[in-house]
Amino acid sequence: MGVPDLRPRQPSEQRFHPAELPVAAQYGHRGITRDRRVQRRLFLLPGVDVHTARAETRSRVRGKDRRADPGIGAARARLPRQKDQTDVQRAGSAAQGHRLNQLLENGEPVEDTAQAIANLTQERWEANAEYWVKVIRERRDRYRTELTDAAVLDAIGPVAGLRVLDAGCGEGYLSRTLAAGGADVDGIDACQSLVDAAASHPSPEGAARFTFASVDDLPFEDGTFDLVVCNHLFSHLPDPTDALREIARVLKSGGRLILLTLHPCFYVEHSERGATASIPAAQYFASRGIDQRFLVDGLESPSMVTSWLRPLEFYAGTLRDSGFVIADLREPHPTEEQMREDPWWRRGFPTAIFILLVAELR
């Protein structure tokens, strides 16, 4: 067990803890809520488990009136006119939806949990943008360059003449690859710095466009695309339900969705560094988050990021409810030769880390 880090945390370093996801009032106050947008399909609150800040760890560093958890001191702060912490929980329950009705004294609305998470996630990705541009353009991420990129492209197949959406495009490398194959590509990302990097990089003329947008509010007409690709996106969405509905909306009937994400059955904190801990059923069947910094080829990201994982039945049910049929399920993994000849893969792939789903819109 590591020594608790008691430094005051910047927003990019805050962790989401069980039953203490942020209500996030104007001044950074945080509290408890039962946000039905996040809970729509899973009991995310209080069933979130963040492996890097377990309750048993926190209890050992608790003082009289506050905890030493990163960000939890703010969670105990009171909102104006709040008698105790349960008032915030009642406010969340009374809201009967994702928007709290409570107002601060200056008339500003209390920010809902889902929006607070989205804002913090966006701040973290902005902090990491330059890091990821360097990692991708210098081809330092061997998981992508030697494994998952090939798996995604194989699942996609020929793209000449197709209208394609690269959802969560990052700095745009996959969009450029698909455009070079003859596709007409739109890339969207909720990180403005990554969109700017993508737009400024040379690509086949007129074949790839990049837009700042959220995947749960896509700026496209119904039935625009033949294919939507979500490459390493879904593990960064606290609740992908609305995203899948939007993807279904912008796809043509019979269109395909290619979704590559972390494997919910086996991925644990630091799997890339050889970790092989099992996942208890109580954690697996809840939505769980893993807070950690990226470490790629010796480079550590400036900000931590939360990776969200959900049981397989969540993906199956949410895809079905959004109008999709799962056509294929793959688990990208190194070849026998890679495992035999390369110690990096033996250490860095101790268990199934990725899952790839191919779904068709009915």
| Predicted local confidence at residue 106, as pLDDT | 47
Per the structure, the count of domains in the chain is: 2
- 53 and 159 in a common domain: no
- 72 and 19 in a common domain: yes
pLDDT exceeds 90 at position 281: no
Contact 242, 250 (CB under 8 A): no
| Predicted local confidence at residue 290, as pLDDT | 87
| Predicted local confidence at residue 41, as pLDDT | 35
- 197 and 337 in a common domain: yes
* pLDDT classification of 112: cutoffs 50, 70, 90: low
Bridge partners (DSSP) of residue 329 are 357
Q: 107 lies in a domain? A: yes
pLDDT exceeds 70 at position 93: no
Q: Which of 290, 291, 296 is nearest to 144 (CA)?
A: 296
DSSP H/E element including 344: helix 343-348
Q: Which of 50, 48, 44 is nearest to 98 (CA)?
A: 44
R_g (Cα) of the chain, nearest Å: 21
Q: How much of the chain, in percent, has pLDDT values that exceed 70?
A: 66
| Predicted local confidence at residue 131, as pLDDT | 97
Q: 338 lies in a domain? A: yes
Which residues are CB-contacts of 150 (< 8 A; sequence separation ≥ 6)?
A: 332
Bond from prior residue into 158 cis (ω within 30 degrees of 0)? no
What average pLDDT score do residues 222-231 get?
Answer: 98
* pLDDT classification of 204: cutoffs 50, 70, 90: low
| Predicted local confidence at residue 205, as pLDDT | 62
- 197 and 97 in a common domain: no
| Predicted local confidence at residue 222, as pLDDT | 98
- 177 and 284 in a common domain: yes
- 133 and 96 in a common domain: no
CA–CA separation, 356 and 156 (whole Å) = 11
Residue that terminates a domain, selected from 82, 111, 140:
111
pLDDT exceeds 60 at position 221: yes
Q: 6 lies in a domain? A: no
- 215 and 306 in a common domain: yes
Instruction: State which residues form the domain around 357.
Output: 121-361
Residue that terminates a domain, selected from 91, 111, 131:
111
What average pLDDT score do residues 293-298 get?
Answer: 92
Q: 3 lies in a domain? A: no
Q: 5 lies in a domain? A: no
- 139 and 66 in a common domain: no
Bond from prior residue into 46 cis (ω within 30 degrees of 0)? yes
Phi-psi region of 184 (alpha: psi -120 to 50; beta: other; left: phi over 0): beta
- 199 and 64 in a common domain: no
Residue that terminates a domain, selected from 81, 111, 141:
111
| Predicted local confidence at residue 218, as pLDDT | 98
- 178 and 89 in a common domain: no
- 342 and 198 in a common domain: yes
pLDDT exceeds 80 at position 302: yes
* pLDDT classification of 175: cutoffs 50, 70, 90: very high
Q: 4 lies in a domain? A: no
Question: Any idea of the CA torsion for 79, 82, 86, 88, to the nearest 10 degrees?
Answer: -40
- 168 and 51 in a common domain: no
DSSP H/E element including 241: helix 241-250
Contact 258, 230 (CB under 8 A): yes
Contact 124, 12 (CB under 8 A): yes
CA–CA separation, 149 and 229 (whole Å) = 12
CATH number of the domain residue 281 falls in: 3.40.50.150
Q: How much of the chain, in percent, has pLDDT values that exceed 90?
A: 54
Instruction: Kindly report the average pLDDT of the chain as a whole number.
Output: 75
Q: 139 lies in a domain? A: yes
Q: 199 lies in a domain? A: yes
